[in-house]
């Protein structure tokens, strides 16, 4: 019966119960005395949602000795707060065992609503589900019991901002709010030149650029919404917008100016970019991309490629970039397409690198998912929206691609 509630993403367990419970002017949003700022932020989100849907501005209270049992919305951490809001008195079902991170339970009864979690993220996600119910059904909310936890621990969106489409900060802040509403917990902006690098101000000077201060504000906004803002910067191929500038052309592998050559001068350059870029991000990860290195071994690295082979040459670059990122306290994410062409080097990659398995066409299965899983790699599956090189997005292809790859990722521990 959960389909009739229209919740996105669909919760793991939904038990629809008879009747409804109506919000009223005297309804209270209740937190325990030990509630932290994360809990209060979630409560204020819910308060604003209810006000927009019903015109009611409900009071929020931190309580040590609750004074109202009927018509309450209680947001609690099960172990921390159960003595203040006993299950028998406030109509919630204690979990049989501790709820994992990001998990929550939501109960709406004739008495009111209760969101139960152990973690700040779990409570936040329970509130997002309750917000969806308010938006769809207020003022009379359906009585329901929901037990939910994610099939994929990391659920991200990557937005391309380096192809002449740089959003304003206001747009990005709004986007973060929308993503978190649907329980997305990672956000990246695919970047090459759309950032102001103080030590290389010519990069991106002919277009819009994000600044360090804007990233700081966006990063803080993401953290409030339980989203990790992962820095993303091209670090091998796809660097044409930088390498085609006259002052950087000598760093390119070939005259294509597509990939940076794996040279000492190139690594000093990347280190300077990282030094300008990475301090703005609180995330401990960095997506270096490193996909589609079409011209590797065809120019400045030709002799080295002939000596050790293209797979080993690629691996050498990843290991050097890993050292650069580690200076800034970051561990790597990287696309997996080149590794799939040279599987003999996968075992030599450090285990702290996360592989991003991207496939953008609809297929019945994606064998690389099982390959990375069997090798014990930390990996994420990355389908696409099929919205490039086309007038309108190819919705059918995208839907099939996303569903199948997400399902296989969940089945193989992505």
Residue by residue, DSSP assigns 251-307 as GBSSTT--SB--SHHHHHHHHHHHHHHGGG---SEEE------TTTTSSTTHHHHHH
What is the extent of the structural domain holding 47?
2-148
Report residue 175's pLDDT band, with 50, 70 and 90 as the boundaries: very high
Residue 336 near residue 372, CB atoms below 8 Å: yes
Query: Is 90 exceeded by the pLDDT of residue 397?
Result: yes
**88 Cβ neighbours under 8 A, 6+ residues apart:** none
Answer with the one of 322, 337, 358 that is the final residue of a domain: 358
The answer to whether residue 147 scores a pLDDT higher than 90 is yes
* β strands within 300-375, DSSP E: 331-335, 354-358
Confidence of residue 4 (pLDDT cuts 50, 70, 90): confident
Q: Is residue 35 part of a domain?
A: yes
Could you tell me if 115 and 186 lie in one domain?
Answer: no
Would you say residue 405 lies in a domain? no
SS3 state at 399: helix
Structure tokens at 307: 């000596």
Q: Taking residues 34-38, what's their average pLDDT?
A: 98
What's the pLDDT at 165? 86
Q: Are 126 and 115 in contact (CB under 8 A)?
A: yes
51 and 195 inside one domain = no
pLDDT for res 2? 47
Q: The tokens of 336 are what?
A: 């997996």
Separation of alpha carbons 381 and 244, rounded Å: 32
Average pLDDT over residues 297-324: 98
| Same domain for 202 and 87 | no
State how far the Cα of 383 lies from the Cα of 396, in Å rounded to an integer.
Answer: 13
pLDDT in tens, 261-286: 999 999 999 999 999 999 999 999 99
For position 164, what pLDDT does the model report? 75
pLDDT tens-place string over residues 217-234: 999 999 999 999 999 999
- The reply to whether 105 and 188 lie within a common domain is no
Q: What is the pLDDT of residues 232-260, one digit of tens each?
A: 999 999 999 999 999 999 999 999 999 99
Domain-terminating residue out of 340, 358, 376: 358
- 90 and 180 belong to one structural domain: no
Q: What CATH number is associated with residue 137?
A: 3.30.379.10
- Total domains in the chain come to 2
Asked if residue 17 is part of any domain, the answer here is: yes
How confident is the prediction for the chain on average, in pLDDT?
97
Question: What is the predicted pLDDT for the residue at 411?
Answer: 98
144 assigned to some structural domain? yes
Band (28; pLDDT cuts 50, 70, 90): very high
1 vs 170: which has the higher pLDDT? 170
Predicted confidence band of residue 1 (pLDDT cuts 50, 70, 90): very low
pTM: 0.96
- Is 377 within a domain? no
Q: Mean per-residue pLDDT for 50-78?
A: 98
How far is 201 from 198, CA to CA, in rounded Å?
Answer: 5
Average pLDDT over residues 297-321: 98
Which of 148, 166, 200 is the C-terminal boundary of a domain? 148
Tell me, yes or no, whether 55 and 161 share the same domain.
no
% of the chain surpassing 70 pLDDT = 99
């Amino acid at each position: 019966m959960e389909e009739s509630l229209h919740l996105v993403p669909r919760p793991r367990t939904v038990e629809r119960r008879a009747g409804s419970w109506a919000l009223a002017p005297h309804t209270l949003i209740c937190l325990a005395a030990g509630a932290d700022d994360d809990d209060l932020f979630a409560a204020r989100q819910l308060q604003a949602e209810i006000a927009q849907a019903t015109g009611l501005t409900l009071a929020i209270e931190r309580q040590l000795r609750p004074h109202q049992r009927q018509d309450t919305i209680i947001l609690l951490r099960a172990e921390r707060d159960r003595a203040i809001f006993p299950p028998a008195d406030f109509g919630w079902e204690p979990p049989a065992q501790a709820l994992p991170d990001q998990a929550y339970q939501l109960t709406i009864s004739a008495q009111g609503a209760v969101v139960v979690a152990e973690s700040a993220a779990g409570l936040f996600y329970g509130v997002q589900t309750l917000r969806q119910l308010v938006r769809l059904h207020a003022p009379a909310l359906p009585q329901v019991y929901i037990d939910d936890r994610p099939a994929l621990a990391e659920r991200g969106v990557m937005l391309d901002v380096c192809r002449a489409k740089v959003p304003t900060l206001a747009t990005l802040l709004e986007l973060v709010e929308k993503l978190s509403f649907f329980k997305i917990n990672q956000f990246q902006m695919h970047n090459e030149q759309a950032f102001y690098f103080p030590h290389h101000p010519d990069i991106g000077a002919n277009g819009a650029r994000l600044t360090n201060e804007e990233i700081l504000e966006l990063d803080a906004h993401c953290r409030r919404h339980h989203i990790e803002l992962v820095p993303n910067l091209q670090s091998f191929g796809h660097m044409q917008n930088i390498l085609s500038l006259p002052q950087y052309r000598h760093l390119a592998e070939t005259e294509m100016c597509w990939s940076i050559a794996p040279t000492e001068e190139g690594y000093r350059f990347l280190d300077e970019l990282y030094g300008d870029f990475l301090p703005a991000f609180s995330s401990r990860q960095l997506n270096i991309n490193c996909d589609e290195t079409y011209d590797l071994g065809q120019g400045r690295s030709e002799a080295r490629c002939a000596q050790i082979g293209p797979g080993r040459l690629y691996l050498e670059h990843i290991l050097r970039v890993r050292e650069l990122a580690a200076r800034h306290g970051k561990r790597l994410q990287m696309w997996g397409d080149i590794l799939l062409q040279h599987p003999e080097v996968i075992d030599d990659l450090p285990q702290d690198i996360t592989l991003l398995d991207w496939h953008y066409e609809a297929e019945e299965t994606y064998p690389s998912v099982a390959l990375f899983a069997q090798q014990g790699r930390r990996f994420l599956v990355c389908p696409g929206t099929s919205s490039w090189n086309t007038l309108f997005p190819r919705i059918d292809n995208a839907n099939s691609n996303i569903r199948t790859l997400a399902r296989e990722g969940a089945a193989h521990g992505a």
